[in-house]
Amino acid sequence: MLSVVLSRRGFAVMALWTNECGGNEEHVPAEVKAWRKSIGYLAEVYEPEGGTEAIAAAVKKACGTKTLSTIICGGESGVKVCDALCVYLNFRGNSIANGMENRRDKQIQQDSLRNSGIRAVKGLASTEWEGPVETFVDSQTFPVVVKPVESAGSEGVKLCKSKEDAKAHFHLLMNSQRAIGSVGAAVLVQEFLRGDEYVCDHVSKDGKHKTIMLWKYDKRLANGSQFVYFGMKPIPLDAPEAQSIIQYTRCAINAIDITNGATHSEIMMTKDGPCLVEVNCRCHGGNGAWMPLSSGLTGGYNQVTAAIDAYVDPKRWAAIPSIPPIPFLAGGLEVKFVSYVEGKVVGCPGYKKIEKLKSFSSMDAAVGVGDNIVKTIDLLTSTGSCILSHPDPKVVEADTAFIRKLEKSNKMFILDGVTPGPERDSGTSDRKSELQWAFEHHGASRKSVRGGSRDSLVDRVNESKMLEAQMKDIYESQISSLHKAVAGAGAVSVLLGAGLVAMAMKK
């Protein structure tokens, strides 16, 4: 969504896809797909051989007569290249000195926290099981967590209940190619943190950190995976745990020397206080489906818009407060869709039914006719999400229960050769009390819908030539007006990785 928002502000956008992207260029929501067809990138550059110098030369060549003015990391697989490129070209970014060439490495993050005197999770990373890793596992009380040092969306993360299980998953990760992460990267074995998991989203500029939103994850067991995303809810900043999580997160950001850009930090609130799971050095993912809700809660801004402000709009950045408003200006939550079946999709009736729910606000329909879906085991295998918002929490409870029934009875999608069956036990627990709690703390509720006709974007973006023409007219009109407003000054923004690195250019 960074590319779309930058385009609306009058920037031309260039995409720099890193080698770690792994074919994720199409892992974008329907709104971005429509934008790519109607306006699209000024250029798409694939990471060349030759290191940072060669990348910089390729980017400059693709700029043509335009001047590169901004580089923004838009995805997990763009972090390392973005940091190095910003340093090489002397752009606003983050230092790669003192071992921060790969600050997305989870073990580097934990070591940095520990060296700064901040609570860190116990763990070891290696490419070899025998030796220190095996010794560490022998010293732990099971279960332990085994995961890649480079990943996102719980990809490859497993809660192992025995030494044999941990060893087998360690070797599986070392011998497999992941969707996000470099080949041959180490595997991390950690103590299992017991508690509730939160997400603290920040945007930083010149070392000043602003909290954009605090969320609480709903991760549960499903399809044999312990870390399936079922959704998340916003946490008000006057909640008892909020301030300690925010202050801890800012210390963690400082420990890995983040001074500029967006961060998406996962924090476990344990009985001993907050403890870092990982800092994702880019915007909150999930196709940006949370953006309408976040904008409604804050009264108009979200992490994507704030990240852009930090780089290109000093006045807007100055207007963003250090923390979101208390109380929130709206209420709601995000529901992640979970698939219990797999096969080829020949129909998506569940999406249509969800759009008719009383609390429906917006949707990220990640699956279309002709797609192949698998059982959801992490964020990357989710089949989409929606935002529910309503003044009455009981309405949201009922609508959430309806969605879960669609999923468990296999009626979300029509699959080739698969007959919908009776509702199945997902192994999940009742979440009504949490939903009630969320709305009691949010104050007045307000519908928040992403700009434009979301229904048509979701349902017809891949088929409708009329929609493409309409969007092209809308975007070209917006950009034309913006160009006039700045007396002909344009810009190019370049995005790196599976998300992107945004680079802004002026004529």
Which runs of E-coded beta strand occur in 149-252?
158-160, 187-191, 196-205, 208-222, 225-234
N-terminal to C-terminal alpha carbon distance within the chain = 23
User: Is there a single domain that holds both residue 323 and residue 202?
Assistant: yes
Q: 224 phi and psi, to 5 degrees?
A: 80, 0
The answer to whether residue 115 sits within a structural domain is no
The answer to whether residue 401 sits within a structural domain is yes
Identify the domain boundary among 299, 329, 359: 329
User: Is there a single domain that holds both residue 49 and residue 137?
Assistant: no
User: Is there a single domain that holds both residue 178 and residue 211?
Assistant: no
- Contact partners, residue 125, CB within 8 Å, separation at least 6: 105, 106, 107, 133, 149, 186, 187, 188, 189
Give the domain extent around 86. Answer: 1-100
User: Is there a single domain that holds both residue 203 and residue 289?
Assistant: yes
User: Is there a single domain that holds both residue 267 and residue 309?
Assistant: yes
Three state DSSP letters for 101-154 = HHCCCHHHHHHHHHHCCCCCCCEEEECCCCCHHHHHHHHCCCCEEEEECCCCCC
The answer to whether residue 452 sits within a structural domain is no
User: Is there a single domain that holds both residue 204 and residue 294?
Assistant: yes
User: Is there a single domain that holds both residue 138 and residue 90?
Assistant: no
CATH for 132: 3.30.1490.20
Please choose, from the candidates 258, 213, 209, the residue with its C-alpha nearest in 3D space to the C-alpha of residue 82: 258
The answer to whether residue 155 sits within a structural domain is yes
Residue 140: both structure tokens together: 């732990």
Identify the domain boundary among 168, 191, 214: 191
- The CA distances from residue 500 to 45, 55, 91, 198, 253, in Å, are 11, 14, 16, 25, 21
Residue 312 contacts residue 70 (beta carbons within 8 Å): yes
Give, for 399, the enclosing helix (H) or strand (E). helix 393-408
Please choose, from the candidates 276, 102, 76, 281, the residue with its C-alpha nearest in 3D space to the C-alpha of residue 191: 276
- Residue 332 CA to residue 234 CA, distance in Å, equals 8
- Contact partners, residue 454, CB within 8 Å, separation at least 6: 31, 362, 363
- Residue 73 CA to residue 6 CA, distance in Å, equals 13
User: Is there a single domain that holds both residue 148 and residue 177?
Assistant: yes
Give, for 261, the enclosing helix (H) or strand (E). strand 261-270
pTM over 0.85: no
User: Is there a single domain that holds both residue 221 and residue 298?
Assistant: yes
CATH for 353: 3.90.1170
User: Is there a single domain that holds both residue 5 and residue 66?
Assistant: yes
Residue 183: both structure tokens together: 């080949």
Tell me the pLDDT of the chain (507 aa) as tens digits.
999 999 999 999 999 999 988 878 888 888 999 999 999 999 999 999 999 999 999 999 999 999 999 999 989 999 999 999 999 999 999 999 999 999 999 889 999 999 999 999 998 989 999 999 999 999 999 999 998 887 654 568 899 999 999 999 999 988 875 555 555 678 999 999 999 999 999 999 999 999 999 999 998 999 988 889 999 999 999 999 999 999 999 999 999 999 999 999 999 999 999 999 999 999 999 889 999 999 999 999 999 999 999 999 999 999 999 999 999 998 899 999 999 999 999 999 999 999 999 999 999 998 999 999 999 998 889 999 999 998 888 999 999 999 999 999 999 999 998 877 665 554 443 333 334 433 433 433 333 333 333 333 233 233 333 333 433 443 344 334 333 333 333 345 566 543 355 565 643
Angle at which helices 465-485 and 30-38 pack, to 10 degrees?
70
For the chain, the domain total comes to: 4
Identify the domain boundary among 145, 163, 191: 191
Average pLDDT of the chain is: 84
The answer to whether residue 109 sits within a structural domain is no
The answer to whether residue 66 sits within a structural domain is yes
CATH for 229: 3.30.470.20
User: Strand, helix or coil at 83?
Assistant: helix
Residue 362 contacts residue 291 (beta carbons within 8 Å): no
Hey, what amino acid is at 232?
A: M
**Structure confidence at residue 452 (pLDDT):** 32
**Structure confidence at residue 321 (pLDDT):** 98
Q: What is the dihedral of CA 234, 238, 240, 246, to 10 degrees?
A: 70
Residue 195 contacts residue 250 (beta carbons within 8 Å): no
How far does CA 52 lie from the centroid of its chain? 26
Whose tokens are 């934008």? That residue is: 35
User: Is there a single domain that holds both residue 68 and residue 163?
Assistant: no
If you ran DSSP here, which 8-state letter would residue 474 be given?
Answer: H
The answer to whether residue 112 sits within a structural domain is no
- Residue 404 CA to residue 132 CA, distance in Å, equals 43
The answer to whether residue 495 sits within a structural domain is no
How far does CA 232 lie from the centroid of its chain? 12
User: Is there a single domain that holds both residue 129 and residue 228?
Assistant: no
Residue 188 β-bridge partners? 125, 147
